[in-house]
Amino acid sequence: MLTSTQRDIIKATVPLLETGGEALITYFYQLMLDTHPEVRPLFNEAHQANGSQPRALANGVLMYARNIDRLENLGGLASQIINKHVALQILPEHYPIVGSCLLQAIREVLGAEIATDEVIAAWAAAYQQLADILIAGEQSVYDAIAAAPGGWRGGRQFTVLRKVAESAEITSFYLAPTDHQPVIRHKAGQYIGLRLMIDGKEVRRNYSLSEQADGVRYRISVKRELGGLASTYLHDHVEAGSSLDVFPPSGDFTLNDHIKPLILISGGVGITPTLAMAEQALESGERPVTFIHYARNGQVHAFSDLLRSWQQRYPLFKARVVYAERADHEVYTPDAIGFPLITHLEQWLPADRDVDVYFLGPKPFMAFMKRALKDLGVPEKQARYEFFGPAQALA
């Protein structure tokens, strides 16, 4: 348990984390992945290469240190981490590896004059406190998932029923358990984990569920990312009849129980979880849904036929689509051409800004939406977002 003296030491290291936290965490990742290759499948190499994962963890460590006396100020950060860990099946035995490498990195990067025995002891206690919180939270989620109808623990074999090209870049995979037993009914907005074997190496990835729950199957819709190891493998090598190892649904970016007007805003492949959210809201028949989607052009715009059919079927549904550019042979007429503008939201949001908004897409896109929604008077607590990959600060 942290002593008051140790808390003071942690708080005293905040300035160091503010100026050098990312360099420290980058070194930590290099150290851990080199000395413990068994944990490599738990980390996305692309996120390591572009710095987003070290940046996200550095920000998380900084937030933890700043609020070491007031952990309640961390808000939903712990829940986000727990859900990401559950989707990848992080286990208690992984935590000592992370802890020992983190302490070694602190000592080696900061040097013996700064990283004294007292500092290392304080950070060891602080890390153990956080690890205990996360392990307990993850265990609770694992137990609840396993006990739910159709639930399970660890990997479960699924068969690809169908593989459907939704656009030039996005392909859907319809998955059903090989044992033909029910599957847990996920919440709209959640994601599953996949364990893949690619060139003899284990790779784990999370993918949003793009269809509301039916207790029988799941659908993920995957964008082929340039240089993306897992997405390229799924697009090029996984076909109908293939088997995939699937971890249970997780995630807390889910619809609330309100009946306020629902605004779903997505950019690119960010459309995938919003489809499940829209479907769930529409079938309840209790709230109007405005679906705003931005795509590069019509050739990469996935699910355009579905949006068109929903507009015909559901009086409470309205789709608004913006293309950054025009392309040949487009089959969907967009509402605008160009980049996201605040005038789009001014026109398409209800005059009464007491709405629930969910938005996701590339980081610059989400940063713009967060500012624009605030400027237009949408209450900040009613504008929720989630990252694909490591969580980052939206300036």
Is 314 within 8 Å of 342 (Cβ atoms)? Answer: no
Order of all β-strands in the sheet with 218-223: 201-208, 191-198, 243-250, 156-165, 170-177, 218-223
> Residue 6 and residue 116: Cα distance in Å, rounded?
12
3-state helix, strand, coil in the chain (%, to 5): 45, 20, 35
Catalytic residue among 22, 138, 166, 279: 138
Give me the count of residues in the chain: 395
- Bridge partner list, 173: 163, 220
Phi, psi of 157 (to 5 degrees): -75, 130
Distance of CA 219 to the CA centre of its chain: 16
The closest alpha carbon to 292, from 313, 309, 312, 278, belongs to: 278
> Residue 391 and residue 78: Cα distance in Å, rounded?
12
The amino acid occupying position 330 is E
Residue ranges in the chain assigned as alpha helix (H): 4-12, 14-35, 45-49, 52-66, 77-88, 94-110, 117-147, 229-237, 271-284, 304-313, 342-348, 363-375
Q: Which residue has the tokens 């989707």?
A: 87
The closest alpha carbon to 93, from 151, 155, 42, 148, belongs to: 42
Phi, psi of 195 (to 5 degrees): -110, 115
Is residue 138 part of the annotated active site? The answer reads: yes
Is residue 323 part of the annotated active site? The answer reads: no
Where b means 16+ CB within 10 Å and e means fewer, 151-180 reads bbeebbebbbeebeebbebbbbbbbbbeee
> Residue 85 and residue 81: Cα distance in Å, rounded?
6
Is 306 within 8 Å of 275 (Cβ atoms)? Answer: yes
Catalytic residue among 95, 142, 233, 323: 95
Active site residues: 95, 138
